[in-house]
Every structure is written in C-alpha cells, then in structure tokens.
Copies of this chain bind each other. A is one copy, B any other.
Amino acid sequence: MRNLKLTVAYDGTDYHGWQSQPGVPTVQGTLEEILGRILDQPIRVHGSGRTDAGVHAHGQIANFTAEMTMDLDALDRGVNALLPSDIRVLAVEEVRLDFHARKSARSKRYEYHVWTSPVVSPFHTRYVHPVGHQLDVEAVDLATALFIGRHDFTSFSATSAKAEDRVRSVLEARWDRGQDEWVFRIQADGFLQYMVRTIVGTLIEVGRGRIAAGDISAMFEAADRAAAGPSAPAKGLHMVSVEY
C-alpha cells in the first residue's frame, strides 16, 4: 500500500466545490474518477479541506492510498492528460502512510481578491470580487489587525458549520494593494466554513464606513453570525497553500 500526496490547482468557476456530490461536477469527484480509471481501482481522495462552489485553489493538498506500481511521473502526466484544463495536478509525492491531508495540516493560507477600480478586466473577472471604488485604507488595516490571534470565530462562520469548537488562531492577516485590486492574505491553524469570506465581507463594510473598526471586538463577543457583516462572494476566494 502506498500513500500519495497531490498538490492541486483549480479554477473553481465551473465546479460545485471540492466535495463529491452526486450529479454535479466537483473537484474531488473529478480527481477520484480519473485516478480510478488510471489505477483501475476505486480511489478515495482526502482533501485538506472543502472549498465551496466557485472558490479557486493554487495549492490544495490531497492524499489517497492505493496498491500500485506505477511510476509517479507517469501517473502525474496521465492524470493531467485526462483532467479538464481547469484542474491541474502540480505535484505527486509519495508520503508516509500516516500522512492525512486534513488531519496532518498545521495551517493554511488563503487570499481574497477585491477589485477596487470601476471596470473589472475581462481577464480577472472570474477571480475577483468587484466593489468598484476605493476603500478606507486606515480603517481596514486597523480592523484587520483585530483578527490576528486566537478567537472564537462563531460570528465569522456559517451558522450551518458543523464544528463544535470554533476557536481558531489567525497567524497572519494583511492586505497587499495594487492599482486595481486589493489582495487579503490570511494564514490560520484552521478555517471554518465561510470564515475568510465573512471576515472580508465585514472588512469591506469597514472600508466603506458602514462598520467601525472598533465594533469588531463586540462581534467576536456576540458569538452570533448575525453580529458580523455579509459574506463576500466565492469567486474572489483563493486557497493558496497548506502547511504540514
């Protein structure tokens, strides 16, 4: 039995998210079907975490175990030859049998792309959330810093999220600003469903002057999704990497 780690990039536009679901295209489902065809056995792929419909990934990590003798380069070429061009396996590595893409993860990094110019480039439209105007830099930076550290993120995650423990540690949260877009970068030891999108949606409201940076602490204390701002749309969200 061998345990293989995959690094996967995908444009999530045309997928109903990572997780396999009957009757709709998903990234996990597509990978499992093609790996199963190449290795001639049913393959179950474990992702580091689900991404929602429309979310993109540059370095999603997944693993699967199989009895196989195939050379890893040949497997990589074969998988990419059969995958649609909006999903690519960037690397295949053999790892110890106790490696699990989700359970072994120590932290993850996400980016969220906000387009601040009035007209969105047709080459970026699938990957950014257009707000169409500048935001208040100072207020956003002040509020962003309040997310760093160990917090109960109940207010900043989907009410339907199943996690019992909603405390997560944010190791980094900052914005890089270009002429047309702002890029939010966040690293945490784990993410709840909609967590990045709700943090960003709240920060955009801060940048528009509709929420004061000082209100963030009260939002954490409320531990109630209704206390925070709206969730920003999926298409601006990019999973960047997983650290082990």
Contact = CB atoms under 8 A, between A and B. Distances in A.
A83 to B, nearest CB: 9
Contacts of A119: 80, 88-90
Contacts of A56: 123
B90 A120 contact: no
A121 interface: yes
Contact of A122 (B9, B122, B125): B9
Interface in A96-151: 119-123, 125, 127
B80 A122 contact: no
Interface in A11-47: 11
A4 interface: no
Contacts of A80: 119
Which residue, A9, A86, A88, A123, has most C-beta atoms of chain B within 10 A? Answer: A123
Q: How many copies does the complex hold?
A: 2
Interface residues of A, number: 19
A160 interface: no
Contact of A120 (B10, B85, B123): B85
Contacts of A89: 119
A127 B123 contact: yes
A125 B147 CA distance: 35
A87 interface: yes
Contacts of A85: 120, 122, 125
Nearest to A91: B119
Nearest to A73: B118
A120 B11 CA distance: 12
Nearest to A127: B123
Nearest to A119: B88
A88 B120 contact: yes
Given A80-B119, A119-B80, A125 B9 contact: no
Contacts of A87: 122
Contacts of A125: 11, 85-86
9 contacts: A9-B123, A11-B125, A85-B122, A86-B122, A87-B122, A88-B119, A88-B121, A89-B119, A123-B127
Given A9-B121, A11-B125, A58-B123, 17 more contacts: A9-B123, A10-B122, A11-B122, A11-B123, A56-B123, A80-B119, A85-B120, A85-B122, A86-B122, A86-B125, A87-B122, A88-B120, A88-B121, A88-B122, A89-B119, A90-B119, A123-B127
